[in-house]
Amino acid sequence: MKILHASLLLFLSLPVAAEEPTHAVVASCAETTLAMPGNGRLFKGAVKNEDYRFTAVIPKGLSAWDGADDVAPFHGFTIFLDPEGVACIDFKIGLRIDADSVPEGLNGKGGIKLGKANAWQWTSAKDADGKPVSNMTTVLTYRFKNSVFDGEVRLISPQGQVKTYIAAYNSFVRSVRFY
């Protein structure tokens, strides 16, 4: 069990009280997503999704790709933060099929409020794809009528470079709102 590093609180300015789930996987961008710039649907600026009842804002100057065909259902996208594709923000969203089950990381005390959603956050670091990688993960859940939506926003960057990308990550996470 890892407790979130206190130094991270300086960057987030959010009340964070989460432990890393026992199954937390540290992954590279290549291991996390099939999306890549120019592949699939392009997202810029404000994004609204009626199916999952959320809005979010992709930080200015950045774009996101979902790597899916236009007819494929929406399940998120990846914002690439560098030309090499080794730093990214991966956003995934879905409808929880079994409303009584709670994915690991979405339970326990603490958490942060993102509008109407409850969220938990932690950091992890180790080798992924043969290179030292840091992941900052925010998982969230939102209940609307008889539906439960679960999501994840993950910052992936080479170890030691999180500070370079934390502003874009925080901007995106704080912009996610459910209605």
Determine how many CB atoms are found less than 10 A away from the CB of residue 6: 8
Domains and their CATH numbers in the chain: 6-178 (2.60.120.1690)
Q: What is the pLDDT of residue 10?
A: 28
CB 88 within 8 A of CB 33: yes
Quick: pLDDT tens for 91-148.
Answer: 999 999 876 676 655 555 457 888 889 899 999 999 888 899 999 999 999 988 988 9
Q: Which residues contact 107 (CB under 8 A, 6 or more apart)?
A: none
DSSP H helices in the chain? 6-12, 29-32, 162-175
pTM: 0.83
- Which residue would you say has higher pLDDT here, 128 or 63? 63
Q: Model confidence at 7, in pLDDT bands (50, 70, 90)? A: very low
Give the C-alpha distances (Å, rounded to integers) separating 171 from 58, 62, 149.
Answer: 8, 12, 21
